[in-house]
Amino acid sequence: MKKLLIVTALIELTTGLLLIPFPSVMATILFGSPIDSPVALTIARVAGVALISLGTAFWLGRDEKQGKALKGLVTAMTIYNIGVIIVFIYGAIILGLSGIGIWPVVSVHLAMAVWCIMSLLKNHPKQE
């Protein structure tokens, strides 16, 4: 599970660090439209801080072997990945958003969700 934690940490930290200073650029890449209101820019930057927080939690947890905290962390990330997939697909199909990065991001989050689920199932203690 250590590789999952490291990869997740690096993805989320990098995204958060890019989102804070460049929210409009990131929105254009992801959704095909820049962010132009102060409220939206602020919300995007808060999302960047949240991603840095997630990335930091995964980075600090990378050496954990097993336990409830690790299971909770990976379960939370599974929910996050599935949520991002749903929101981005909704944006693409229903709202017509079409940035060059939208489908690659969906693909990465799908792969990460599957990896999280597989890790949770693999590390699930067997009931006797």
- pTM for this model (two decimals): 0.89
**H-helix or E-strand containing 42?**
helix 38-60
Tell me the per-residue pLDDT of 47-104, one tens digit each, with 9 for 90 and over. Answer: 999 999 999 999 999 998 888 999 999 999 999 999 999 999 999 999 999 999 999 9
The Cα angle at residue 53 between residues 47 and 57, in degrees rounded to 5:
145
The structural domains of the chain, with segments of one domain joined by +, span 2-121
Nearest C-alpha neighbor of 58 from the set 10, 15, 9 = 9
User: SS3 for 34?
Assistant: coil
CB burial of residue 21 (10 Å; 0-12, 13-18, 19+)? exposed
